[in-house]
Structure 1
Amino acid sequence: MADGNTPMSFGERLRFYRDRAGMTRPVLGQLCGRSGEWVKGLENGGILMPRMHLLLRIAEVLGVEDLADLTGEQRLTSATYGKRRHEHADRIGHALAVFPIVSPDREPLSADALAANVRQAWMVWHGSPQHRTAIAAVLPRLLDDARTSAKLLEGRDRRNALASLAQVYHLAQLYFSFQPMHDLVMLTGDRAMHVAQDADDPHAIAAAAWYVNHVYRDAAINAEARIELAHQATRLLRPENDADRPLWGLMHLAIALSHAKTGRRGDAERHWGLAHDAAQTLDGHHPWLLFGKDMVDAYAVTMYADLTVAHEAVRQADRITIALPSATRRSFHTIEVARAYHLKNEPLATVHLLNKAYEIAPETIGYNLFTRAVLADLGAHGGTTVRDDARELAGKLQLPVAS
């Protein structure tokens, strides 16, 4: 990025990461609630580096993991603005990195028994307010069992075991997400896609495509590639087939969210509409992906928040009741509603909703970068009531509290 001799300015760094993301100035400006001319002014040095909440939004949009990479100021990298690391992350990372050499004499779990254990693990993930801590207790053994069964079983049983192994990698990816371990998030997504293809299972491939889309969408890279991947997965599915329809709708939801990240409102709304129509035909939701009416409605808030259409994000939030059968999903989508109100500059509603998200699943909000940033900002600059509430919640999350 630099020649090693001349330090890069903030504007030069911003231009580098914008070019890396393949994003124009108007699109970056729109996604930050500003204009293309504002971005040009930042890059040319005509406008000073913005305040922290805008810096964090730029970093989020461009997929910059460490603010110091964007600002050049190491002092800005702190527990307040950085990502939190779970206490068992190294142990889970070790379990992922070590490939057991499987003895042919070892007795593998049957494909059915493995699938039952994976279903139980999803119940743990979705059901516990402390979902990372809960899943960390079972992931190492689950990884070992799934890789062993996928190695030793044969025929249809092996393909079913591979599909279960893909789900275990999804759980590992979710565990590592929103932690400063981006390489392991990428690794788990890649491995899940490979084993899903080895299983020759369209549903497993589509689920892997959903999680790969998460990886690249959060990193703000390869927009066209991730959209094309989801399109390819839809071609493996038949929407008229009851079993295929949830995965087909999920792919269109993935496409909608990717378009929203790059500011393409018309495309985002069109594909969200296809996902919505598919969800309306379902009774309930997918057992572990949770695709259904509630999920599609909740992600409408995310879509419009990413498009920075604040009034529509709030309108969508006001028309729905988040009733997803998952503590972590309910907490996440409550945070997204808070983000929508933050875009409307309504700090009281923002902090109130963040407190609700904390009550639902403390570990979800504790690892959320928006939450950590907005509490720091409101704790320092909010009005008296907002400032006190923001500082109280920051204390519960063990974040540094502004003095």
Structure 2
Amino acid sequence: MTDSATFGARLRAFRERAGKTRAVLGGLVGRSAEWVKALENGRLLPPRLPMLLRLAEVLDISDLADLTGDQSLPVASVTRAGHPDIDAVASAMQRSATATGEPTRVDILQGLVDQAWKLWHRSTVERSAVAGVLPSLLADAQRSVRHLAGQERRQALIELARVYHLAQLYLAHQPYPELVWVAADRAMRAAQDADDPAAIAVAAWYYAHVYRGSNQVDLAEHLLLDAAAPLDPARGGEELARWGQAQLGVALGHSKAGRAGQAWRAWDAAEHAASRLGSTYAHPWLMFGPAACAAYAVTIETDLCRPGEAVRRADSANYSALPSHTRRAAALIDAARAHLLDRGEVAAIHLLGRALRESVDTVRHNPYARAAALELSNRPGTVGEDARELALAIGMQG
């Protein structure tokens, strides 16, 4: 595709632009720091397409030609599969709020938003489940905010923020990356307009995902810490859950930056908060709790490129304790990532298959799962056969 020296120079430039060490980049794609160094120094040939796509995703490169110098290939065309209803949801996000019509009563609006979140967590095709309700829910919440006043308007703003959080989840890994930023920003503005610290903390959790995805991990940390500061975890309940989730977000940022000590200190704070809420606790729509902390511990160890610990945590995690199909599927994908980092291809493909049974949509629209299926489909024997079946099931072949 390109000569080794030129490719290596480009890779190093993008890595340094992203502020990642070789060890961090290697961990995020399941390889070692020495492997990255060998690529950058031209001692290794450029990797095959699946690994090139993984590198591009991690380094926030939209066109593979920027990395390889070869013909243009939009990264999203392979790693992002557009949902069939994406245009309708995108149109609803892009449409200006209308002032016509009667506002929805706040208690009814809250019930509608609760139902939408239940659809997201209880369906094995969560994007399809919520796509039918998101456009009308956005319009209802926007109209209510514009017509209501006082405390009712504040409550409507909190519900509007929750709708935007759901829209952000739907829009993730879709062909409208700019709308993910729009959803995160509008949710934060709604929470701030409501002047509700708990809502602001959740908005920070979702905004931090966008920052981390664009390699702005320090901005994500500052946002989360600022949002968590007004919360008093000693009060327990919602305040403790949202404070704990903010600490979890801080941990995820540090692990992506390769800062192990800081990552685990923040994770310890989150896990302690979760344990105080009870061993079986799971927030009804945020899903924060002990099981979520255990699942994210696998993510942290994998990001830190510690395969032995990542696999140990993955194999001991109780995925059934996560009361959400999409969260279980995402956790199983991270477990597969841990096993691939440890060169456990059989276990990885098995876990990806389990993830697919939990949620077709989560696997179909997850860039790592798509890249892994593509990479493993070239393996001989049952691993390759199962990977090709997985690729077919998520629409990458045939």
TM-score normalised per structure 2: 0.92
- 2:223 is aligned, of 220, 225, 229, to 229
What do residues 135-172 of structure 1 show as CA deviations (whole Å, max 9, x unaligned)?
11000100000001111110111111001000111111
> 2:53 maps to which residue?
56
Matches within 5 A, 1:60-209: 60-74=57-71, 77=74, 81-103=78-100, 106-209=101-204
Moved more, 75-84 or 184-193: 75-84
Q: Distance in 2 between matches of 1:332 and 1:38?
A: 27
- 2:370 is aligned, of 350, 359, 372, to 372
- 2:311 is aligned, of 294, 311, 314, to 314
Q: Distance in 1 between matches of 2:97 and 2:29?
A: 46
Residues 24 and 388 of structure 1: is their aligned pair in 2 closer, same or farther, counting only changes over 3 Å? closer
Q: Distance in 2 between matches of 1:80 and 1:180?
A: 8
- 1:22 is aligned, of 9, 19, 23, to 19
Asked whether the equivalents of residues 80 and 372 of structure 1 are also in contact (C-alpha less than 8 Å), the reply is no
- 1:238 is aligned, of 232, 239, 255, to 232
What do residues 311-334 of structure 1 show as CA deviations (whole Å, max 9, x unaligned)?
111111122211211111111111
> 1:330 maps to which residue?
328
Q: Distance in 1 between matches of 2:255 and 2:171?
A: 24
The AA in structure 2 aligned to 1:255 is V
Q: Structure 1 residue 58: deviation in Å? A: 2.2
Gaps of 5+ in 2: none
The AA in structure 2 aligned to 1:259 is H
Alpha-carbon RMSD? 2.1
Q: What is the aligned-residue identity percentage?
A: 47
Q: Distance in 2 between matches of 1:168 and 1:17?
A: 35
What do residues 203-236 of structure 1 show as CA deviations (whole Å, max 9, x unaligned)?
11111111111112122x2211110111111101
Secondary structure of 1:252 counterpart: helix
Q: Structure 1 residue 76: deviation in Å? A: 5.2
Residues 376 and 167 of structure 1: is their aligned pair in 2 closer, same or farther, counting only changes over 3 Å? same
Q: Distance in 1 between matches of 2:122 and 2:31?
A: 39
Matches within 5 A, 1:7-18: 9-18=6-15
Q: Distance in 2 between matches of 1:282 and 1:154?
A: 34
Q: Distance in 2 between matches of 1:96 and 1:151?
A: 16
The AA in structure 2 aligned to 1:58 is L
The AA in structure 2 aligned to 1:157 is E
Moved more, 56-65 or 334-343: 56-65
Q: Structure 1 residue 45: deviation in Å? A: 3.9
Q: Distance in 2 between matches of 1:49 and 1:386?
A: 24
Matches within 5 A, 1:295-306: 295-306=292-303
> 1:5 maps to which residue?
none
Asked whether the equivalents of residues 80 and 376 of structure 1 are also in contact (C-alpha less than 8 Å), the reply is no
Secondary structure of 1:93 counterpart: helix
> 2:289 maps to which residue?
292
Secondary structure of 2:192 counterpart: helix
- Is 1:257 matched with 2:255? no
Gaps of 5+ in 1: 1-7
Q: Distance in 2 between matches of 1:168 and 1:31?
A: 31
Secondary structure of 2:79 counterpart: coil
> 2:393 maps to which residue?
396
Secondary structure of 2:78 counterpart: coil
What do residues 233-280 of structure 1 show as CA deviations (whole Å, max 9, x unaligned)?
110100101131000100000000000111111111111111000000
Moved more, 17-26 or 347-356: 17-26
Q: Distance in 2 between matches of 1:42 and 1:78?
A: 20
Secondary structure of 2:226 counterpart: helix
Q: Structure 1 residue 78: deviation in Å? A: 7.4
Q: Distance in 2 between matches of 1:303 and 1:149?
A: 40
Q: Distance in 1 between matches of 2:29 and 2:314?
A: 20
Residues 30 and 120 of structure 1: is their aligned pair in 2 closer, same or farther, counting only changes over 3 Å? closer
- 2:351 is aligned, of 331, 350, 353, to 353
> 1:3 maps to which residue?
none
What do residues 80-113 of structure 1 show as CA deviations (whole Å, max 9, x unaligned)?
833101111111111111113304xx32011111
Q: Structure 1 residue 33: deviation in Å? A: 5.2
The AA in structure 2 aligned to 1:335 is I
